[in-house]
C-alpha cells in the first residue's frame, strides 16, 4: 500500500467476508487472504474466527538490506505461530521513494530476508511497481531485473513477477517489463479502481491484465475504500459503499479461473 489514506474498513471487511462464507465461498475459484502491516490483526479474535491462512507483508528494501528486521520480527513471529502462509513484497526505501537499489543490492536484500525468514516461500519482486510512489514506475526494465534476480535467489518459491496498480499506463509498463522478464508465471494486481468505481467487468484493468499476461494472477491488494482524499469521505455511508466495492472485488476475482488469490487490504483503519 503506497498511500496511508487509502482505507479499507474492518467493518466492511467483516461484513463482506462473512457474506462469502459457506456456499458462496465454495463457488469461488480463489483463496482469500489479507495484506496488513500492523500487529493488531493478530490479537483480534474476529480475525482468528475467519480462518484466513494467507497473509501479505510489505518490507522496505533499505531496512532488510542492512539486516534491520525490527519492524517485521514481531509480525512474522505472530504469523509463524499461527502457521500462516506469508507473501513478502519488497518496497521503496523508508527515506526515499525515488532511489532504485542496484541489482546486487536487491539480491543481498533478498538473501537477508531468506536467511531471516526461511519459512517464507512466496515473494513479490516489488510492491505496486508501476505507481508514481515507487522508484520502478519509470523503469520497468529494472523491475524485471529484480524479478529475474528474485527468481534465481528463491528457487522453489512462488514469485509474483510484477505487482501493478490498475491505472493509466499499466499496459505500456507491462509490455516493457515482459520484454526483459524471464518466463514469468505469476502476476499481481491491485485493482482498487476497478472495484471502487464499479466499472463493467469487461472494461476493467483486471480484464486488460488478463489479456496482457499469461499464467496465474493474484489480486495482492484489493477491496473497498472507506475514506480517501475528497472522493471517499468515510462514515457509515462510506462503510456501506466499501462493502459493495469489496463484493465487486470478488466479482472481479471470479472473472477468470486464473485468478487464484485475493488479498484484501487491510484489517485496521489508519490512525
Question: pLDDT tens, 123-157?
Answer: 999 999 999 999 999 999 999 999 999 999 999 99
Question: Which residues are within 8 A (CB) of 195 and not within 5 positions of it... i.e. 6 or more apart?
Answer: 222, 223, 224, 245, 246, 248, 249, 252
Which residues are bridge partners to 58 per DSSP? 89
5 in a structural domain: no
Go through 252-262 and write b for each residue having 16 or more CB atoms within 10 A of its CB, e for each that does not. Answer: bbebbebbebb
pLDDT for the residue numbered 27: 52
* CATH at 22: 3.20.20.80
Cell 496511508 locates to 4
How many domains does the chain divide into? 1
Q: Across residues 1-6, what is the average pLDDT?
A: 45
| Pairing outcome for strands 227-228 and 232-233 | antiparallel
Would 92 be classed as within a structural domain? yes
C-alpha cell of residue 178: 515482459
What are 15-65's pLDDT values in tens digits? 444 444 433 444 558 999 999 999 999 999 999 999 999 999 999 999 999
- Name beta bridge partners: 93: 96
Q: Evaluate whether residue 168 is within a structural domain.
A: yes
How far is Cα 136 from Cα 39, in angstroms, rounded to an integer? 28
What are the pLDDT digits (tens) for 187-220?
999 999 999 999 899 999 999 999 999 999 999 9
In terms of residue numbers, what domain contains 40? 10-265
Q: Specify if 2 maps to a domain.
A: no
Pairing of strands 85-91, 122-124: parallel
Amino acid at each position: 500500500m503506497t498511500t496511508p489514506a487509502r482505507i479499507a474498513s474492518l467493518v466492511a471487511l467483516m461484513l463482506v467476508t462473512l457474506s462469502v462464507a459457506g456456499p458462496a465461498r465454495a463457488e469461488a475459484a480463489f483463496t482469500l487472504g489479507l495484506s496488513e502491516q500492523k500487529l493488531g490483526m493478530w490479537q483480534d479474535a474476529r480475525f482468528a474466527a475467519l480462518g484466513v491462512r494467507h497473509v501479505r507483508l510489505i518490507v522496505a528494501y533499505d531496512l532488510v538490506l542492512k539486516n534491520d528486521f525490527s519492524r517485521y520480527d514481531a509480525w512474522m513471529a505472530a504469523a509463524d505461530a499461527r502457521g500462516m502462509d506469508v507473501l513478502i513484497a519488497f518496497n521503496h526505501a523508508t527515506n526515499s521513494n525515488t532511489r532504485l537499489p542496484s541489482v546486487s543490492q536487491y539480491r543481498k536484500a533478498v538473501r537477508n530476508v531468506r536467511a531471516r525468514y526461511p519459512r517464507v516461500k512466496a515473494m513479490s519482486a516489488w510492491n505496486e511497481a508501476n505507481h508514481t510512489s515507487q522508484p520502478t514506475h519509470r523503469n520497468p526494465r529494472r523491475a524485471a531485473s529484480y524479478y529475474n534476480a528474485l527468481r534465481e535467489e528463491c528457487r522453489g518459491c512462488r514469485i509474483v513477477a510484477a505487482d501493478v496498480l490498475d491505472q493509466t499506463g499499466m499496459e505500456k509498463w507491462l509490455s516493457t517489463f515482459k520484454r526483459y522478464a524471464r518466463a514469468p508465471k505469476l502476476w499481481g494486481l491491485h485493482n482498487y479502481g476497478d472495484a471502487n468505481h464499479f466499472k463493467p467487468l469487461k472494461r476493467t484493468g483486471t480484464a486488460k491484465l488478463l489479456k496482457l499476461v499469461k499464467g496465474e494472477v493474484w489480486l495482492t491488494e484489493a477491496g473497498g475504500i472507506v475514506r480517501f482524499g475528497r472522493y471517499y469521505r468515510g462514515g457509515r455511508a462510506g462503510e456501506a459503499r466499501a462493502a459493495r466495492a469489496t463484493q465487486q472485488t470478488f466479482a472481479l476475482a471470479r472473472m477468470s479461473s486464473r485468478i487464484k488469490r485475493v488479498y484484501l487490504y487491510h484489517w485496521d483503519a489508519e490512525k
